[in-house]
Amino acid sequence: MFILNVIKIVFTLGFLVFIHEGGHFLVAKAFKVKVNEFSIGFGKKVLSKKKGETEYNLRIVPLGGFVSMLRRRWKIRWWKIFFKAINS
């Protein structure tokens, strides 16, 4: 019974991580930012598939995740834009 509860918790947290990281992924795609890697979990890769420019991974410990995006340098810093917007 205890093991079954642990498995349920791990799958539930994995699903929540998927939803959370999926939000980052969708916003990045909506703003046309290149996504290098979408990964659920930490540690070694269990499953991996490359589709287009993005590599999708499922890792061994599904208690976290990340979306690796292309970094861009802005000529103008974001806080200058932010403060200009709120002061006008």
State whether the Cα torsion 11-13-15-21 is positive or negative.
negative
Residues near 18 by beta carbon (within 8 Å), at least 6 away in sequence: 40, 65
Catalytic residue among 21, 37, 53, 55: 21
Q: Is 21 tagged catalytic?
A: yes
Q: What is the CA radius of gyration of the chain?
A: 17
Positions marked active-site: 21
